[in-house]
A and B are shown apart, each in its own frame.
Chain A
């Protein structure tokens, strides 16, 4: 059962071939047996999951089931879960049990899905390798046979690794600069970052408010569509959430792709990309041509400035967003503070990890007197230029395709010495967040036995088109079905 997709499991439950209690037990047993080597979960909520599964079975017996009733899944540990520890991968929140739900969490509860636990992540979603987690690094299920432990990507590395290892069929995730697409690519699964404002951010612990977006991870595009059906929609508790009709994302999965106009941004096929990676991506594009798509080269002239703009805007917003972690109302507090300043400075020095502190300091610097115009304001202007690039590109094409990462999963520890080397991991994904458009990562082949992702970028609110584009590809390829060795 653990190799089946959400759509398949839902049908099994509906047919009565298996109960949610049996299914939940099976996944919980797999987590228990195998997660020791991946560390993809921070918290496993076994008792609550079994109780929810039982309730789901009763619901189904009463004829009140939805697609998700009784289907197991997991939440990235950035979504607040009432009564269950929510840590954001940080020592600062290691003891934090919120008395409230994120809107996304509440939506899955309402849908009847069974949450197995909370997945590991880079601390406060700051990272591209899941090595900044207070709860230890996550190991990619791929590439273990070589003897090296590789990163799953980040920051949603726990969700991606758990899905790749078949510990859970689907998991929520968030993406501020690539945190869904990059780990999805490195773990050989399918992930979607929706349009900014499509999914509520309420109860999702903030990293950079104008960039953060909750999204989906599963093995198939169809499962991503099922997840987005639950997650997308207006939330009066989030001022930046968009009040716009939500389509049934599964309804258009089978639309033919004949006539689809695909653009290849030339800046994303640069010399930063390894030739082997490029070959895989171009092969995938050829599949689309076979499906009837037309392919042209396009330009995103300001894309090369995306990382620079991002590393001003994201740290600046983060520096303020993370000020609330002060040891006063919740979370970590240093021992025996001798005065107020000691409480603040020691709580924050001890509670935050290195990468988080670096970003807070950079952000504080960029906003400080004398630097605001040169950094923050300049970055916001460049952000508009980047957005304009996408608006222009979508005048001529329906979707953009590119690699997700410059190279496949790297070995743990390889890029931790210099933060900038790590930042370049997101060179192809960051511009999408600055513009706020939706994008997916779809398994598209292997290099040296390690998965390669194809990025598909859509125009604002065109998630349905992205899912359709990805689903059709998965009807003619089986990269997403491969099992880690």
Chain B
């Protein structure tokens, strides 16, 4: 049987405010346990919440960036449940009147097409604390530093139909919130958390199947694997004539397996009701305008500009514009590198490969865009060959020298572009290979000729100790052989 995959996402975006959503406690990461938990955060008796304006501003910025309606009157509700990391015994959230209404995000797919994913809504709420399960004589330790950190929970429509689409959306959302500066985007620390709702239905069927929710996806790679894994699991069940149970599943990325998070109460009854300690939040035109004024260039706008300004193709422009720090790195490289396309190739090629290999983010890279740009400039003006440039890049990355020119100089990587010297080398090499020259000149198929040309390059590079400019060698060869 053929199946349609239906995917919707719920994304928790931790907002990069200085303080919590309902108290003036710091949200700085990495503090000692419970040192950033005030009386309000600890739900001490009699304490009351007062909402953070910046959390609303960030939420509105997000809403504008996803083309959404802004909730002019949003209401906080209490979601009641007991858990040790939830001090009040309820989470303050927004159920019926969220700050952000319906919107959409367009994603680019590998085949060059694009797709619109609708946002159902996004609401503001507070994060819970953390439970630490290390051994405290069989007890669990509770750290409430994170309790009350502002979140927006973004809920999409079930508009995605493959892991590729879901990951493309997730990357786009990551790119949006980091570009907006409203979230640090660090998935490994839980600053951005994706939960994936997956269901299958017989191909072409209108009726949605039973869905599961998969949690704990702390990288895009795990997300992709988890979706593949869950799709396969559901397919196995359905093809064996079984039924998928609606449940929440916890994914283990290390083992590529998932398990049911069995909820103790079969049916949770959260008993939502409007929080009587808070009043409706009214957002007026002036507030929306002030948020609009803070909007930076967004990835879609940036992509269009990269194509226009640097002459990049759509694919390169998207890869370079998605992430704000990657975009900034590229622009710095290009501004020093003279040749924007060459700069793009190096940033997406050598530089990105190196980041991946070492599991580093752009901001953690040991080289700057200016350093890479200087190297690109030397490639563009033929000072260094591309193989020589790789050696320079390696040295820069390792910190063996801090600018391309000095490294090229010190290591003798400057390529010989003196035409006279090169011509002499060509003459000498051709003189030593009369049979091959004759064979070349007899050949009428230009394709074969081109291939044969390569046979001369090896000895030429050897003769120049690798420093001959291959482009010039090529030109000279053609001139000499065709005469």
Contact = CB atoms under 8 A, between A and B. Distances in A.
Interface of A: 79-80, 86, 88, 93, 96, 98-100, 102, 201-206, 208-210, 236-240, 316-317, 319-320, 323-324, 326, 328-330, 340-341, 344, 364, 367-369, 372, 376
B48 A320 contact: no
Given A326-B82, A329-B87, A376-B273, A239 B278 contact: yes
A94 to B, nearest CB: 13
B456 interface: no
Nearest to A90: B45
B478 interface: no
Contact of A100 (B44, B82, B277): B44
A319 B46 CA distance: 15
Interface string B46-86: 11111100000000000000000000000000101010100
Interface of B: 39, 42-51, 78, 80, 82, 84, 87-90, 142, 264, 267, 269, 271-273, 276-279
Contacts of A201: 46, 48
Contacts of A240: 48, 276-279
A423 to B, nearest CB: 20
A468 B143 CA distance: 52
A100 B39 contact: yes
Nearest to B267: A369
A369 B279 contact: no
Nearest to A93: B45
Contacts of A317: 276
B43 A329 contact: yes
B46 A237 contact: no
B42 to A, nearest CB: 5
B46 A206 contact: yes
Contacts of B49: 239
B50 A239 contact: yes
Sort A-B residue pairs by CB-CB distance and give the 9 closest, nearest first.
Answer: A323-B89, A209-B276, A367-B271, A210-B276, A324-B43, A203-B46, A205-B45, A205-B46, A209-B277
B46 A368 contact: no
- Dominant secondary structure of chain A at its interface with chain B: loop
A271 to B, nearest CB: 34
Contact of A364 (B42, B264, B271): B271
Contacts of B80: 319-320, 323, 367
A205 B48 CA distance: 10
A207 to B, nearest CB: 11
A206 B88 CA distance: 12
A324 to B, nearest CB: 4
B50 to A, nearest CB: 5
Contacts of B45: 80, 86, 88, 93, 96, 98, 205-206, 324, 330
Contact of A330 (B44, B50, B142, B273): B44
A376 B273 CA distance: 9
A252 to B, nearest CB: 30
A314 B82 CA distance: 20
A337 B89 CA distance: 19
A340 B46 contact: no
Contacts of A340: 84
Contact of A239 (B46, B51, B88): B51
Contacts of A205: 45-46
Nearest to B78: A320
Given A100-B39, A239-B49, A372 B273 contact: yes
Contacts of A369: 267, 269, 271
Contact of A328 (B48, B84, B269): B84
Nearest to A86: B45
Contact of B277 (A93, A239, A326): A239
Nearest to B264: A341
Nearest to B38: A100
Contacts of B269: 368-369
Contact of A368 (B51, B271, B276): B271
Contacts of B271: 319-320, 364, 367-369, 372
A65 to B, nearest CB: 30
Contacts of A323: 80, 82, 88-90
A401 B62 CA distance: 53
B239 to A, nearest CB: 35
Given A80-B44, A320-B88, A367-B271, 7 more contacts: A86-B45, A98-B45, A201-B48, A209-B277, A239-B277, A319-B80, A326-B84
26 contacts: A79-B46, A80-B46, A93-B45, A98-B44, A98-B45, A98-B46, A100-B47, A202-B48, A204-B46, A206-B277, A209-B276, A239-B48, A239-B277, A239-B278, A240-B48, A319-B271, A320-B80, A323-B89, A324-B89, A328-B87, A330-B44, A341-B264, A364-B271, A367-B273, A369-B267, A369-B269
A364 B269 CA distance: 10
B97 to A, nearest CB: 15
Contacts of A376: 273
Nearest to B40: A237
B246 to A, nearest CB: 16
A99 B46 CA distance: 12
B23 to A, nearest CB: 10
A344 B44 contact: no
